[in-house]
Amino acid sequence: MQFSLRTTFFFSGINPAGLSPADASRILLLELVMHENDQEAARHITAELSHFANAGPKWCGYMASKALLVDPAREAFEAEMPGLDARLRTNIATLLGAAFVALHGRVPVSEEAKLEASEFASTTADHAEEVDRDDAGEALHHLFAHLISGSSLGQWLAREHRDLITDGIDDKRMSARIIASLDIMMRVRNDDPGFFLLRGAPGIERIFRDTKWAGDAWTHAIRKLDGAFSPKNPIYFANIRKKARAIGLTFDILPDPTEEPDGDFGTDPTNGVGPRY
């Protein structure tokens, strides 16, 4: 039992090498500050290391005995953090609650939770930005993962980008037809290189139907991406036969292109994909 508990706490303390936005919304990274060879600081660090090396099994046992206090401690902190995104509030309240239990061995009272939540407000705000980035990444993944004619939309975009550079514009190319049917425009040689999503495009809204990005929510999520931008001028979309405002995305967020999928290319893969005006 002792081995299992020690192993659990050992591996739970490992920081992942690369943090995704989702990780960054729930993992606190502590900064290591140099002590400039200060002898007093060095002695203190050495003493603490020695203490925890000897107290390892007891420390794990102590934390395991307090595990049931973490949930009510989380609830105490959540009550003092109104107005936050639900997931962010739960993540931060869990971290603060567990830390309080580790330091004090009990659940905080309301005033203590309120004080600590206030002290860590700036840290919470930093993590809120990561939650927004995570939501944008999930929306983009959902869009790219949509299957059309045996391949994902992300792959059709990547192939069209590759072929547009090497072969130029060809409206009859399968990748060009597919993205055009969804009201997606791609430009490689202009002041705003990238691919552009028409706001309110029926084909894209169909992809996001019955998700948390349904309606106009997907536009707000996609615009939070690091590679999102607003084009200087309206973009012309052939389906609606006019220029319109769009959301621009840089090419560096596209996956690497693969070969065309096997299949019968005699049929139009865009049938039923996008609108027919």
Classify residue 151: in a domain, yes or no.
yes
In a domain, 90, yes or no: yes
**Structure confidence at residue 178 (pLDDT):** 93
In this structure, the answer to whether residues 110 and 159 fall within a common structural domain is no
Q: Which domain holds residue 180?
A: 134-253
Mean pLDDT of 184-194: 86
Distance CA 153, CA 142 (A): 10
**274, pLDDT greater than 60:** no
Together in a domain, 85 and 164: no
Q: What is the pTM of this model?
A: 0.52
Angstrom distance (rounded) from CA 248 to CA 226: 11
The answer to whether residues 96 and 153 belong to one domain is no
244 Cβ contact list (under 8 Å, min separation 6) = 198, 199, 234, 235, 237
What's the pLDDT at 196?
94
The answer to whether residues 215 and 144 belong to one domain is yes
At 123, is the secondary structure helix, strand, or coil? helix
Residue with tokens 């490689």: 188
Q: Rounded distance, CA 52 to CA 67, Å?
A: 19
**Nearest one of 68, 65, 84, 75 to 108, comparing CA atoms:** 75
Query: Is there a single domain that holds both residue 244 and residue 147?
Result: yes
Whether residue 248 is found in the same domain as residue 140: yes
In a domain, 261, yes or no: no
pLDDT tens string 221-273: 898 888 899 888 888 888 888 888 899 999 999 988 886 644 444 444 444 44
Residues 196 and 151 in one domain: yes
Is the Cβ–Cβ distance between 174 and 260 less than 8 Å? yes
How much of the chain, in percent, has pLDDT values that exceed 90? 31
Co-location of 145 and 110 in the same domain: no
Q: Using alpha carbons only, how large is the chain's radius of gyration in Å?
A: 26
Note whether 50 and 102 are same-domain residues: yes
Are residues 75 and 175 part of one domain? Answer: no
Question: How many domains is the chain partitioned into structurally?
Answer: 2
Q: Please give the full DSSP string across 62-73, using - where no structure is assigned.
A: HHHHTHHHHHHH
Residue with tokens 């547009």, as numbered in its chain: 164
Let me know whether 159 and 113 are in one domain: no
**pLDDT score for 50:** 84
Contact 159, 260 (CB under 8 A): yes
Compare 55 and 177 and report the one with higher pLDDT: 177
45 occurs within a structural domain: yes
With respect to residue 88, please indicate whether it lies within any of the assigned structural domains: yes
Residue 202 covered by a domain: yes
The model's pLDDT over 79-101, given as tens digits with 9 standing for 90+, comes to: 998 877 777 788 889 989 999 99
